[in-house]
């Protein structure tokens, strides 16, 4: 019992020593957990961006296919309308006794062909604008992805600096507390 009575006065000092060690370990563990969480956040962002980009590219391919299909259908309709117009014009000339290879009749028929060529050129220009718009959307998303990743990395760097400063301050405080502890222990002997 006498041995226990000699140790009892040291309990607060022992408790403080254990508390110092536990605090130091806890700070280090928190820092490592934060670093893991930051790495995971970056991986999650990148995975999300990759999935969004994949979906955007699939949608862009579908949009391009739709524009191409619409263009082909418009070409078929334009060709059919041109054939009907030429046949109708030739029939009119034939019924009025004008030869279709006559200069004025030929000029009218060439005018019909030129009109459809102008319509096709305008449609092709519109299709190019649509394709450019699709490509521009993809490029904008790529730039946005880079910006988001960069912002996250900068935020994490600032958080790391702050965390390291806190960690060093905490370690310094723990070191000072340990020196105080050691001084208290040396006073006992």
pLDDT, one tens digit per residue, over 124-153 is 899 999 999 999 999 999 999 999 999 999
- Which phi and psi (to 5°) does residue 49 adopt? -65, -40
Residue 3: inside a domain? no
pLDDT at residue 87, as a whole number: 77
Tokens of 55: 């979906």
**pLDDT reading at 189 higher than 70:** no
Residue 93: inside a domain? yes
Q: How far is CA 186 from CA 99, 133, 179, 183, in A?
A: 126, 78, 10, 5
CA angle 163, 145, 161 (to 5 degrees): 10
Residue 28: inside a domain? no
**pLDDT reading at 102 higher than 70:** no
pLDDT at residue 26, as a whole number: 67
Q: What is the domain count for the chain?
A: 1
Residue 184: inside a domain? no
pLDDT, one tens digit per residue, over 4-26 is 556 556 566 566 666 666 766 66
Span of 10-19, 25-34, 155-164 with lowest mean pLDDT: 10-19
Residue 30: inside a domain? no
Higher-scoring residue by pLDDT: 108, 46: 46
d(CA 177, CA 10): 16
Q: CA dihedral in degrees (97, 101, 105, 111; nearest 10)?
A: 150
The Cβ-side half-sphere exposure at 65, using a 13 Å CA radius, reads 6
pLDDT, averaged across the chain: 79
Q: What is the mean pLDDT of residues 28-37?
A: 76
Range of the domain at 146: 60-167
pLDDT at residue 75, as a whole number: 84
With bands split at pLDDT 50, 70 and 90, how would you rate the model's confidence at 121? confident
pTM, full prediction: 0.59
With a pLDDT cut of 70, the percent of the chain lying above it is 68
Residue 182: inside a domain? no
With bands split at pLDDT 50, 70 and 90, how would you rate the model's confidence at 103? low
pLDDT at residue 183, as a whole number: 72
Residue 32: inside a domain? no
Q: What is the mean pLDDT of residues 64-71?
A: 92
């Amino acid at each position: 019992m006498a041995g226990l009575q000699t140790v009892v006065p040291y309990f607060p000092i022992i408790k403080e020593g254990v508390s110092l060690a536990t605090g130091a370990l806890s700070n280090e563990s928190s820092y490592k957990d934060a670093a893991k969480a930051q790495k995971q956040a970056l991986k999650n962002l990148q995975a999300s961006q990759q999935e969004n980009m994949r979906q955007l590219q699939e949608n862009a391919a579908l949009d391009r296919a739709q524009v191409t299909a619409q263009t082909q259908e418009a070409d078929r309709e334009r060709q059919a309308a041109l054939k009907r117009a030429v046949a109708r014009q030739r029939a009119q000339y034939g019924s009025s006794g004008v030869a279709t290879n006559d200069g004025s009749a030929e000029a009218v028929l060439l005018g019909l062909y030129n009109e459809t060529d102008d319509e096709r050129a305008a449609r092709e220009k519109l299709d190019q604008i649509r394709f450019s718009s699709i490509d521009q959307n993809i490029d904008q998303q790529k730039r946005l992805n880079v910006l988001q990743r960069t912002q996250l990395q900068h935020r994490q760097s600032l958080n790391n600096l702050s965390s390291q400063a806190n960690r060093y301050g905490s370690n310094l405080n723990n070191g000072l507390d340990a020196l105080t502890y050691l001084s208290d222990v040396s006073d006992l002997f």
